[in-house]
Each structure stands twice: as structure tokens, then as C-alpha cells.
Structure 1
Amino acid sequence: MYNETTLGLSKIEKALLIILSPIIGALLGWFIPSIAEWAIKIPFIPFEGVFEWIATLESQWVSVIAAVLGMLAGVFFVFYAFSESLKVTITDEQLKLEFKEKATTLHKSEISAIYLEKKELVILSLNGNERFRVPFDAKRDAVSGAFEKHRYPWKDKDPFENQYQRWIADHPDFPAHVNALISARERALKNEESEEAQVLRKDLASQGIVVRDKDTRQYVRIVKER
């Protein structure tokens, strides 16, 4: 039997998403007139005008149409949830990481450390650079056990955590173009532009700079070439 371990949504979790999401969406749609009548009684509720308009509609077709739309929204949510959930397939030789319809394969020989930082899975290359980082809402024991089973270099924490320093504008240790990237990422964090911040993190990694976030503050380290 092929020695393989998979981390991600379980079959039960997938089944629950597929079954419950359309049902919940349809129920919310069916009862939307009642929800609207209740909502307009709440002071300072957002979109009050929309709720008032829905509450004035008396035809039963409103509930029927809203239920169908709610069910379709539930179906779209299932596809979204699947695409946003990381799936990791582990063998003794390599990892396959599937996220947002993209697949990345890493060989064990390319990896120096794997660990969880808050709710993110982080994989470091041999020189300590960040090779992969993605949200991963899984139990730590299950994740560590899977990687240790296949003899990957699992770590309880970032092995370089003592090498980070707080970044300040025009930091003297970095060239101007690196400072510009970190500055742009700081703005993205403050503006809650998470996708842009993730892109800039990858750009910095290509320059040999690894970033850790604490709120909107950035702590950085320089990768030492081996």
C-alpha cells in the first residue's frame, strides 16, 4: 500500500459543507421577509432602507425566489470553502500542497523546517528562506504527527525566531528597494489589504528577507546564504 498521509478537510467535513450550506442558505432566504421585519426594529442597523423595502413585499414568491438564491449562494460558498482550504498530501519523499486551485510540490530534500505560526503553515528552504506560507486551520497535534510520521523536519516554532529585528523606515541594514517593499507592505497591513501584503511578502522572500507580523508591526531577518 502506498504510504501517504493527507491533511485538510476530512470527508465528513466536506459532506457537511456540501449538504448543510445550501440548506442553510435556502432557509435564510425563505425567512428573509420575517428577518427584515425583525431587523428594521433594531436602531441604527446598516442597510435599513433595503430591509424596509423587503418587509413591504407581501407576495409568497419573495420567499420562494429568496430561498432559491440562498441555496445557490450556499453552493457557491461550498466551492469557495474548498478552494480556500489547504490540502497537504505527504509521502516519504515529497509534499503536494494544493491551495486556491494551485498545486506546489516540494521534495523533502529541499526543506529545512516545517512549523505552524498562529494559523499558518510555514515551510523553510535549506538556506532558511520562506518557501511556503498559507493559512491552515488544523489541529497542531495532527499536523505535527503527520510530518513526523514521514520524517520531515517538524519544528515546534520558528527556528530563527531570535534573528528578527523590528523594521523602521529607511532601515540602514537594507538597500533602498527592500525598504520600499517593506514600507509598501506596512501600508497594506494598515489598510487591511491582506492579498497585497501576501504578494509583497513573497517579493521580499525573493530578495532574501523573511517577515514576521505582530499586529501592523513588521519584524524581519536576512537569509544567510549557505
Structure 2
Amino acid sequence: MNNETVLYLTAGEKALIIIAPPVLGGLLGWFVPSVAEWVITLPFIPFQGVLEWIASVESEWVSVLPVMIGVIVGIIFTYYVFTESLKITIRDEEVNLSVKNNRQNIKKRELSSVYMDGKYLVFLNKHGEELYRGRPESKKELVIEAFSQYEYPWEDRDPYEDHYQRWVRDHPDYSRHVNALLAAREKALKDLETKEAEVLRKDLADLGIVIRDKGKRQYVRMGTER
């Protein structure tokens, strides 16, 4: 018996992701000439010359080429969705988390808490430090059921919810290095650089700093033994 549970995209979701984007991209491409013909009637539209050329050329390629481009864009989008989707494999003694080419194994004995922070699944170690944070593809109810079935230390809320404090620049409770990373992350949040903000969150987690975002404001705490 294979004693594991996998939380990932369902078969129906996979089929929809594979089929829908290329089909929609192709359909949008097919209507490009008609859209161009309509757009050139609007005032103050840039690239009028290009649009007029697209609308006036009578050739199969005027429709076929945008369809091909739309399908290719749809395929690229499908690939992106699959690579960005988190796959969670739960076993009796460990949980495997896989997204893109990154894999992380967390032993059950290392954990003090597992909980949902909004749409994100969070794992804390025995010192209350964040081991992993990711967005599961399965519904919250299925996530709770799966981890409870394998007797992981599931919590209905963040057990350290009352320990966070609003971070301000040059906070006296944190080192110069930590304050510099938090300042860089605040700037990334304001500039909507989500990837950079996540990288900095992980860097701070390695230092024992746990972050909760409220809009573009950061609320932080340290692990219990830091």
C-alpha cells in the first residue's frame, strides 16, 4: 500500500489548463483582423498605420499567423501554470513540497505547527521559525483533512498571532543587517516586485524572522530562541 496523499491539481483542472489557454489564444488571434478594423474607427488610437494594414490585407496569413501566435502564447501560459503550481506529498513521517525545480522535505518531528495564513500553507519548526510557505492548489478543507489524517500538528490559526509587531525603519529590536533586508523588502512591496519580496522573506526566515504582511506593511517577530 502506498501510504501517501498528494495535494495538487485535479485531473479536471489539468485538462482545463492544457486545453483552454491555447484554444482561447487561437480564438483571440483569429479575430485580430476584425478587431483591427473596428479599432481604427476610434479616435486617438496609436499605430493607426499598422492597424489599417492588418484590416486591409486580404490574405489567409493575416488570420492564420495571429492564430498560431495565440496558440503558442497559450501553450507558454499553460507551461507557466504547471511550473508555478505547488505539489504537496504527505507521508507518515515527512512532507515533500515541490514547485518548479525546487524540492523541500520536512520531517514531521521537526514541526511544531502547520496552518493556513490566508491562502498560504505555513510550516513552523520547534522554535516557531518558518520552514516553508507556499500556496496549495487544493481547497483549504482538503488540506486540513489531509494533514489531520497523518496526525501533523495542525493549527486553526497562527499560534504566534499575538507576537507580531509593526516594523519601522531602523527598528531597535533588530540588527542592522535584518533592518536592511526588511527595508529592501518594504521597497519591493511598494514597487509590486512580488518575486523579490518572496526571496527576501526567505532570506529573513533563514535568520529566524517571521513576517506577516498587511497590505504593504510588514509585521514581524523572531523565533522563540533567537
TM-score, length basis structure 1: 0.92
| 2:88–2:136 contact (8 Å) kept in structure 1 | no
Partner in structure 1 of residue 146 of structure 2? 146
- Change in Cα spacing, 1:2 to 1:199, as seen in structure 2 (3 Å) is same
* 1:183 aligned partner: 183
The answer to whether the 8 Å contact 1:111/1:153 transfers is: yes
Deviation at 1:59, TM superposition (A): 2.1
**1:96 maps onto 2:130 in alignment:** no
Which residue number in structure 2 is paired with residue 115 of structure 1?
115
1:99-157 per-position Cα deviation (integer Å, ceiling 9, x unaligned): 12211111111111111112211111121111111233431111101111111111111
* Counterparts in 2 of 1:2 and 1:200: CA distance versus 1, 3 Å: same
Q: Distance in 2 between matches of 1:146 and 1:44?
A: 56
Q: Which residue of 1 aligns with 2:155?
A: 155
Structure 2 SS opposite 1:17: helix
Query: What CA deviation, in whole Å up to 9, does each residue of 1:46-82 have, x standing for no partner?
Result: 8777655533443221111111111111111111110
Which residue pairs with 2:60 in the alignment?
60
Aligned-pair identity (%): 54
Aligned length: 226
Partner of 1:24: 24
Mean Cα deviation higher: 10-19 or 135-144: 135-144
Instruction: Tell me: CA distance 1:67–1:121, structure 2 relative to 1, closer, same or farther (3 Å).
Output: same
Q: Secondary structure at the match of 1:153?
A: coil
Residues 184/144 of structure 1: CA separation in 2 closer, same or farther (3 Å cut): same
Structure 2 CA distance for partners of 1:130 and 1:56, relative to 1, 3 Å: farther
Secondary structure of the corresponding residue to residue 64 of structure 1? helix
Q: Distance in 2 between matches of 1:214 and 1:53?
A: 49
Q: Is the 8 A contact 1:120 1:137 kept in 2?
A: no
Please show how residues 1-226 of structure 1 align to structure 2 within 5 Å. 1-40=1-40, 51=51, 54-225=54-225
Does the CA contact (< 8 Å) of 1:5 and 1:90 recur in 2?
A: yes
Distance 1:166 1:3, change over 3 A: same
Deviation at 1:37, TM superposition (A): 3.0
TM-score by length of 2: 0.92
Q: Identify unmatched segments of 5+ residues in structure 2.
A: none
When the two chains are superposed, the root-mean-square deviation of aligned CA atoms in Å is: 2.1
